[in-house]
Amino acid sequence: MSVTIDQAFVTRQRERLIKLERELQENLSEQREEYDELARAERVEPVDEAQVRMDSHNRGALRLHDEELLTRVRSAIQRAEGGRYGICAACGGPVLRERLEVKPEAMFCIACERRHELE
Ligand SMILES: [Zn+2]
């Protein structure tokens, strides 16, 4: 298995990232619409307040996750366009190709990401 990151790989990953970006944007705008509907419904008939609060809390967390992912996806696209794709943003070392296959938006090598998580 090849581990080198060549231009064809970067191009393919960039396409995947752009698709992912579009999906996330769609999800987020759908979530925003649902959230607005829920907010409207709440005002009209306050059914079970605790339940409604819980639902909007969960939705909020989900949305935050998607927004964070979208930010990472966008910076990965920029990195791909700037020729820095597959280079760890922290140590400048290589990010393994198999890691990028699983997580195309990865910006750090495994060692740096672990360090990051422990902090
Ligand atoms: Zn690193």
pLDDT single digits (tens) 17-32: 999 999 999 999 998 8
**Residue 1 within a domain:** no
Q: What is the pLDDT of residue 109?
A: 95
Calpha distance 8→83 (Å, rounded): 12
Distance 40 CA to ligand 1 centre (A): 46
What's the gap in Å between 118 CA and the centre of ligand 1?
14
Q: Which residue has the tokens 């909007």?
A: 56
CATH of the domain at 76: 1.20.120.910
Q: Which of 93, 119, 9, 30 is nearest to 107 (CA)?
A: 93
Cα dihedral: 32, 35, 36, 38 (round 10): 160
Does 27 reside within a domain?
yes
pLDDT in tens, 53-96: 777 777 788 888 999 999 999 999 999 999 999 999 999 999 99
Integer CA distances (angstroms), 53 to 35, 39, 62, 67, in order:
11, 10, 14, 21
Its pTM surpasses 0.85: no
Total domains in the chain come to: 1
In a domain, 61, yes or no: yes
**What's the gap in Å between 110 CA and the centre of ligand 1?**
7
- Residue 55 located in a structural domain: yes
Q: Is the pLDDT of residue 106 over 60?
A: yes
Q: Which domain holds residue 20?
A: 7-118
Residue 97 falls within a domain, yes or no?
yes
More confident residue, 44 or 83: 83
Higher pLDDT, 104 or 57: 104
pLDDT of residue 48: 72
d(C-alpha 44, C-alpha 9), whole Å: 52
Distance from Cα 86 to the centre of ligand 1, integer Å: 10
Which residues have CB atoms below 5 A from the ion given as ligand 1?
Answer: 88, 90-91, 93, 109, 112
- Domain-embedded: residue 30: yes
80 closest CA partner among 3, 7, 22, 4: 7
12: pLDDT strictly greater than 80: yes
Residue 2 lies in a domain: no
How far does the centroid of ligand 1 lie from the alpha carbon of residue 95, in Å? Answer: 7
